[in-house]
Structure 1
Amino acid sequence: MSCANEKAWHFQFNKLWSSKLEDSINCVVVGKPFLDDLSEENDLLIGTTAGRVLILNQTKPVECLLETKGASIQALQLYDLTGYGATDLVVGDSGGVITLFSRQQILSKRDLGASVTQIQIHKDLVSGYEIVAGDNSGTVTSFQQYDALWKLNVAEESAKLATLGMKGRRSPFIRCILSATLTDCFGMEMSCLLVCDGYPFIHFIQDGERIQSLRVPTVVRSICAGHFLNTETMKNFVTTPTKTQKTGNGATKLDSCQVLLAGQDGYVYIMVNYEIYRWFKVGFCLNKVVGFRPRCLGDHDTDLVVCVGHSNTVHVYKDGQPVATIETSDWPHVVTFGDVNADGQDELILGLLNQTIEVYQWNAVRSLAMDEGPS
């Protein structure tokens, strides 16, 4: 709803540049691999079906950083694995091999035995980390540079929970993994992994054990965390105030983060107090949902939600309402944000099915809404 005294955000996305590649795009990360000095403009690191990791920047031609000699690159992550200040690279391929690169040298390799589908860097509450990978057999594996930590077959856990009412065959492969810091029922922070496979569940995992699972109305294809609700929109899901809500005049975002789930039924779902609610309809099968917080937003403003899927459009929402739409030349299936031109502002990066990378700059204006009714 908008009223005469309420200011509404309006967002516009303008294409900065694009590049057509020879290889199909599987994944994209933004950063400066192997370099201690992060003052330069960031590069796009692109994992391709041809088994190559490419480096792309507007100011220089495409270069091949490394090659797997055949296996398709399925997942990439950048993180300081060694603690020496440089950004290291984690690469997972369709052959089931995860390779860790540090300072342009192979740090270690690990064979999962099945094609890698997801890689996450899971950080705990005391600044420790572990590398967590999902594969197409439905298994999640945790390890560090030289140590195996734990392994859990999530697909088996899903099969145990599945009821006779579920129709059709279910794919076991891990569709999404999220490392999140959530607030438990006692108001304490906890670090856990959220994992989804081909079953309509979201699993909570700590130290290799499934501690909780929630049923979702559809198969979840992507998850993200952020501050998406305020004290007003929260009332759509709960009638009693929560401990995480601020007080004051007007709506303010909640202190604790929320989790969004992109469904293959075209809806975005939200987890509130460990219950799943349908939030808004995008209208086509979703492949990716990403939270984004522009620097221009105030402390009490909620995050943006970027949705892509089986459509040549990108839909951007705020507070469950559409605020921008981007038309693309093909279906975007890779979405990320990062500062690629050293202007201090993150750009939107899309990887399209037609082997094109597109980079968008955004502008935001807050205007006074003079009419009442739905925005």
Structure 2
Amino acid sequence: MMPTSWERQENSVVNTVSKKCTCTCLWRKHVTHNINTIKVATVFRDKQASLIIGCEDGVLRIYSLPSETDKSQDTLEIKLNLETKGGPIQSLMAFDVSKLGSTDLISADSRGMVTIFCNGQISARKSLSKDSVSCLQVDHDATGNFTIIASDGSGVIHGFMPYKHLWKVRLADTAIQKTIPQLPRIKCLLATSLIGASGQESTYVIAADDCKNLHFLQQGIVVVTLTCQSVITAMCKGYFVPTEELELATTGPEAPSQVALAAEDGSVYIMCNFQIYFDEYVNVKLPIRQLGTLPESNSSNVQSLLCTGNFNHLVVYHDKKLVAKYETTDWVSSFTVVEGTQEGSHQVIVGCCNNTVEAIKIAR
């Protein structure tokens, strides 16, 4: 691994591995409550994007986003507190559930409750389970139809609308799990559209369990199950490897979709066209908890992959190479990618286990 270089410029930390990619600290703030999950979105009737933090005390806190030059205050400026009246927030999504033209907030907590906020008020609450609901996604298509997807601690995946339960799948009842005495538990979910080798696009909910299985669901039915080499703990969609390197016989005009799969042992694999390529994309050597993708202006360029986990840094990989490593103040509990205003740069906002929030500018 190449040595990391450091520079300090007016309280900003520049952390680089490659001169082609730099990570710069724009601001660092503190919050008074434990951070479980974060998002950046323009919610309710606001005109500007806000930072939303799901906290250990069951409250969603909405903060103003500091400017790049704001270094005068150590803490974030609070705009709104939203009481879920539930347990610690485990997952958070921003989506127009109400169809009123503004973005709503959906939260899931450790008491099995999903709470939906519209215009700053609770519009719906749904008790899904006696177990914690740790994973939350929204499955939506081009026609505007959507389903909220959540998984609980007992290995059940739920598909529902705010006031209607549509389906649920208990993974222990699937054919492959009946041969395993262990009760499967969901480690991560990803709702996304995938393009196959034929060029046809379909939407799937991908669920990874702790029995090393990857399940693909459509409308509450498991259509494909793949076996992995390790337990998958994080997933994200992107374009990470040139299609020709995967040796796929494609017939469609668009390249087949790729999904990065991160494992507990620190390895990252690429899944494409329902095939997992077990030649490692990278290996961090430590458990990975979250993956992210940096957008590219040119769709033909491979994208950069962000990784955080049981280590105190954010790492950036591009074309299977480590290009940046940014040291954080503690393990990262959650991060979110914000598109930068300048071409070729993006912001990544990380929430750490010591209640520090950092905005990192990544420039390539």
* More displaced 10-residue stretch of structure 1: 300-309 or 254-263: 254-263
User: How much has 1:64 moved relative to structure 2?
Assistant: 4.5
Match of 1:266 in 2: 266
Q: Which residue of 1 aligns with 2:167?
A: 150
2:70 equivalent to 1:68: no
Distance in 2 (CA, whole Å) between partners of 1:244 and 1:313 is: 39
Contact 1:158-1:201 at 8 Å conserved across structures:
no
Shift of 1:52: 1.3
Aligned 8 A contact 2:159 2:165 in 1: yes
Deviation at 1:102, TM superposition (A): 0.9
- Say if 1:228 and 1:257, in contact at 8 Å, map to a contact too: no
| CA distance in 2: counterparts of 1:29 and 1:255, whole angstroms | 29
CA distance in 2, matches of 1:9, 1:299: 23
Equivalent pairs counted in the alignment come to: 334
| Conserved 8 A contact 2:257-2:272 | no
TM-score (norm 1): 0.82
SS of 2:20's equivalent in the other structure is strand
Which amino acid in 2 is paired with 1:153? R
Structure 1 contact 117–173 (Cα < 8 Å) conserved: no
Alignment match, 1:189: 201
**1:195-214 equivalence runs, <5 A:** 195-214=207-226
How far off is 1:333 after superposition? Answer: 2.7
Q: Kindly indicate which of the two structures has a greater share of residues assigned to strand.
A: 2
Matched to 1:213, the amino acid is: T
Q: 2-side partners of 1:277 and 1:9: how far apart? A: 30
2:290 pairs, out of 288, 291, 297, with 288
Q: Give, as a single letter, the amino acid of the residue that structure 1 aligns with 2:98.
A: T
Q: What is the deviation of 1:159?
A: 6.1
The residue that corresponds to 1:310 in the other structure is 310
- Structure 2-normalised TM-score? 0.85
Higher relative contact order (CA 8 A, sep 6+): 1
Cα distance between partner residues in 1 of 2:332 and 2:57? 19
**Residues 51, 158 of structure 1: alpha-carbon distance in 2 compared, 3 angstrom cutoff:** farther
Task: Give deviations 1:240-260, integer Å, cap 9, x for gaps.
Answer: 643357xxxxxxxx6232011
Supply the distance in 1 between the matched residues of 2:276 and 2:179 (Cα, whole angstroms): 17
Q: Distance in 2 between matches of 1:301 and 1:25?
A: 34
Decide whether the 8 Å contact of 2:58 with 2:84 is kept in 1: yes
Gaps spanning 5+ residues in structure 1: where? 1-7, 246-253, 365-375
Residue 163 of structure 1 deviates from its aligned partner by 5.2
- The aligned residue for residue 221 of structure 1 is 233
Q: Which residue of 2 aligns with 1:179?
A: 191
**What is the SS of the residue equivalent to 1:187?**
coil
1:242 corresponds to 2:258: no
Q: Which residue matches 2:25?
A: 15
- Report whether the alignment pairs 1:43 with 2:50: yes
- Read off the aligned partner of 1:280 and give its amino acid letter: V
Matches within 5 A, 1:79-94: 79-94=95-110
Aligned to 2:333: 333
Q: Contact 2:86 / 2:113 at 8 angstroms: preserved in 1?
A: no
Deviations 1:201-220 (A, max 9, x none): 11000111100100000000
Could you say if the C-alpha distance between residues 64 and 105 of structure 1 is closer, same or farther in structure 2, counting changes exceeding 3 Å? closer
Provide structure 2 residue ranges, at least 5 long, that are not aligned to the other structure.
Answer: 1-17, 68-75
